[in-house]
Structure 1
């Protein structure tokens, strides 16, 4: 459909004529059926972000990893169960940059009703979707990102699809998101960052929040006037309308790494919280909140460090695995690779190399046939086999040395890398610990890392380089928060554990769209367990197939490690 903002008409891809798309409201334990009819000109898949998809990787919605895309004028029905999760998740397209307009909330309420919330029952629940607006074709943005041309940036930020009165067309302000509240009432804000580019600071003037959940998991309530939320994350927060009647701005401000990092346009947006009879009192000036400096990225570390799992007799949480079967140290950064894969290119010719994003200095190459049905037999990459994500990076250096951010001789010695279809196998039931380390390689960004099919225990996080001798002592093994998206701080680290108890092929990737497009991705393959209840069942009827006929759905799939086909990166 065509939408007009900032004096410009833009063709966008949306669901049912809505931006954001429709909210899916369910009760914990429900089965969900979603019919997707693709009348757009694009190949489409829908990912149900944060839904665990137990034994159901076929419905995870990752193109060329778990399924062939739904082609134009075709349809597919997704079916999944929502079990053991309560709170806010969301859905979005997982093809190119289309999730910028193809997204919506998933609200999961307790099975025994909202009276069982482990916090005061709200008078109203309100999804607040933070996003960004692009006045250009999002499919073209994706092509440019993959070609490393970063001359495209969002034209504005949005709250529930509204740009707000910071933006105008010939002096006429854009519409603002309006939230009408009554004095003394409590509102549960279900906040989602659906943006492609930025982590956001979120405030409501003269109000404070009580954070009660994140990523569909309850957290120990804490009070704050500032919420920091990265792409992919959700935060549930109570807001009590306890200010005097009036108008109060709610502001979403993107943050970004300070110099010497590259500075890009990062537009804020704002909506209005109308309390009491403020909507009928003429045009009184709305109160503005005092926002952090855009470069005060340590606020993200403070906010996320405050999260811990709620200990409640009615809401039991899994215990942190004390025994660890697999230890990994994964660095996140940028590098340079031959554009067409492999190692043979003229490294001094810009047209033959490109900027890529990496995990342990390898950049993900998208396969040409889905990995889940074929598993490993046909990945279609020029390497012809999967490359195993190594336990550690190939070189140890001062990962957070800011002198590595600008292009120059120092980083040149470290930036050479290559593309491969990167994977890691885990035996069913393995306890896995990963330390993610952000690096200063050509950038100093944070990295919101999202794992499909699992929740992660966030044990600890910190600034600078991870030091095992010092930092393991900081691990919270009692009540760490469980997240599907963890924020690796700017030039910092985060330690997580998860249990590989969901057989299938699962995406692990950064939720910044430019990092995803550039290859900060791996697939985690969890093998079948010993029983039918711990194994991946056959694919559903009507599963999408690729038009080139390279891919045929097998009747059965066995997720057993094919040791003879794994290309292992040697030290």
Structure 2
């Protein structure tokens, strides 16, 4: 009886939220069957890949703003997993956020679970992906939210066609083993870059070129590219020979349109850009190139792929002879050039349709993002007892010198809902600032064993920060050069935030607060903290529940660059988290070989 009552309450809340979004809202229903199929890539036709409905990328979910979404997930794979609806705010509905051991237990093999959520108040390109181990490399797809007909329309001319572009990677290693390897602090490289699941003809497989994804265009028409970086490893530069982009949105938030010949997109980010087919009729390449930090950072082989943009026309015989099979390729930046990314992200400003930036800040956090060292077995190294005396060390990724550890027995959200977070394991409060203030961007710290080795000491804990409902929080993220100098795409679940400013070098409040854009900052769910730089964000905790904040690089995520934000209920029913659905997965004994993401 209790389960039936719980189910009725959850369904009632779901449909109450749907009613709030408008009388013309629809319910969009999908069934996702997760299974393993053999795919032919990189000279191999027998690579076993975990996908949804046999597709890579998986099926796109297309809705109108205000609609409700129902996805029945049927797990026919041999692994427990969850699906995260990346960027969906999940108002009063944290149970559907899909983060294993944070908002739910994994859906075990042979089991089903139905996700129900609403997309009111959001328009643009979001996406969905697995949130266990490294499965988002192949379990992902688009979530497209269009304006409601007769209420609003695009704040730009209606495009002739909309085209999702998923930048990803092809791996020839079992993704469970990959995550275990990454979790042990060991790098592993993908075969190469994919675009919409294809390696493209830059990848030469024993003399046979891989297939390209092809975009056919008509002279004078516009195309809306819905671009998502689903990769585990790299930020990418995207260019089309002979064409320019007009960026109109990012992370399902409109921006003031601006024109550029290059897009920089980090893992987790989505960018909407319009392309006008105004070049001479012919064939052009769109190229995606992964960037990386220069030495002494560890180098990986260059990653790139390309799409063929082909004008749909009938050339004369003379024109055909002149054009032949030639395809124009764009001139790409150097793979070590990260300043182009800094300026691309810095050029974004928000539309005035958003709520004003809150001026009063209740809580300030300064979070250093670094790599650290953990002794095998979880011991913290010290000068008197280094890891060499404790079976060696492994790398860990940290926020204020703490590496996140997932609970193993109960999800944090369930513990939060029942007022029993202490049962979720050893919890540790995320401090306001790192334990030691130092020169965060001194590149000498990249070399392990330097005099700054004490900064590498790392605590492992389930890190949580609790906020009252409706608290205004400002976070300054500081990338560091402790053992590396990566940028860091930081993704916050359940909330959008204002990106107030970014900078290179060390953050200095006396100097940098004056640079904050409090008039028209972009609104995002993922912020790229620049290499050897910083970024400042501000948001309001207006969504009760347990929300994950983490780096979207797979390597950093697997080794602990994460924290949980616990947001209390408000004072009314409309500000209170609903009960869990009756079919919420129950935690079972986990396979120790799976490092849950």
Q: Above 0.5 in TM-score?
A: yes
Contact 1:46 1:93 (8 Å CA) reproduced:
yes
Contact 1:336 1:418 (8 Å CA) reproduced:
no
Q: Which residue of 2 aligns with 1:43?
A: 80
How far, CA to CA, are the matches of 1:143 and 1:227 in structure 2?
A: 32
Secondary structure of the equivalent of 1:404? helix
Q: Which residue, out of 119, 132, 138, partners 1:82?
A: 119
CA deviation after TM superposition for structure 1 residue 136, in Å: 1.5
Q: Which residue, out of 393, 396, 401, partners 1:356?
A: 396
CA deviation after TM superposition for structure 1 residue 27, in Å: 0.3
Q: Which residue of 2 aligns with 1:449?
A: 490
Secondary structure of the equivalent of 2:332? coil
Q: Which residue of 1 aligns with 2:405?
A: 365
Q: Which residue, out of 363, 382, 394, partners 1:326?
A: 363
Q: Which residue, out of 45, 52, 61, partners 1:15?
A: 52
Q: Which residue of 2 aligns with 1:176?
A: 212
- 1:9-62 Cα deviation digits (max 9, x unpaired): 311100001000000000000000001000000111000000000010100000
Q: Which residue of 1 aligns with 2:347?
A: 306
How far, CA to CA, are the matches of 2:163 and 2:234 in structure 1?
A: 22
Change (3 A) 1:188 1:104: same
The residue correspondences of 1:510-525 to structure 2 (distance < 5 A) are 510-525=551-566
Contact 2:368 2:399 (8 Å CA) reproduced:
yes
- Does 1:404 pair with 2:440? no
The residue correspondences of 1:354-433 to structure 2 (distance < 5 A) are 354-368=394-408, 369-375=410-416, 377=420, 384-433=425-474
How far, CA to CA, are the matches of 2:273 and 2:64 in structure 1?
A: 19
How far, CA to CA, are the matches of 1:226 and 1:133 in structure 2?
A: 24
Q: Which residue of 1 aligns with 2:185?
A: 148
Q: Which residue of 2 aligns with 1:255?
A: 291
How far, CA to CA, are the matches of 1:335 and 1:237 in structure 2?
A: 38
Q: Which residue of 1 aligns with 2:24?
A: none
Contact 1:114 1:121 (8 Å CA) reproduced:
no
- 1:275-332 Cα deviation digits (max 9, x unpaired): 1337995852110101011011011110000111112xxxx21111100000010000
Q: Which residue, out of 572, 576, 587, partners 1:546?
A: 587
Q: Which residue of 2 aligns with 1:552?
A: none
Change (3 A) 1:278 1:458: farther
How many residue pairs get matched?
Answer: 542
- Does 1:159 pair with 2:195? yes
What is the TM-score normalised by the length of structure 1?
A: 0.92
Q: Which residue of 1 aligns with 2:239?
A: 203
Contact 2:237 2:291 (8 Å CA) reproduced:
yes
CA deviation after TM superposition for structure 1 residue 168, in Å: 2.5
Change (3 A) 1:184 1:327: same
Secondary structure of the equivalent of 2:452? helix
How far, CA to CA, are the matches of 1:351 and 1:181 in structure 2?
A: 59
Runs of 4+ in 1 over 4 A off after TM superposition: 278-283, 378-381
CA deviation after TM superposition for structure 1 residue 112, in Å: 2.5
Secondary structure of the equivalent of 2:216? strand
CA deviation after TM superposition for structure 1 residue 267, in Å: 1.6
Q: Which residue of 2 aligns with 1:468?
A: 509
Uncovered stretches (5+) of structure 1, i.e. residues with no partner: 550-571
Q: Which residue of 2 aligns with 1:4?
A: 40
Change (3 A) 1:328 1:56: same
- 1:489-517 Cα deviation digits (max 9, x unpaired): 00000000000000000000000000000
How far, CA to CA, are the matches of 2:389 and 2:129 in structure 1?
A: 37
Contact 1:10 1:137 (8 Å CA) reproduced:
no
RMSD of aligned residue pairs (Cα, Å) = 1.7
How far, CA to CA, are the matches of 2:210 and 2:142 in structure 1?
A: 23
Q: Which residue of 1 aligns with 2:304?
A: 268
How far, CA to CA, are the matches of 2:333 and 2:314 in structure 1?
A: 27
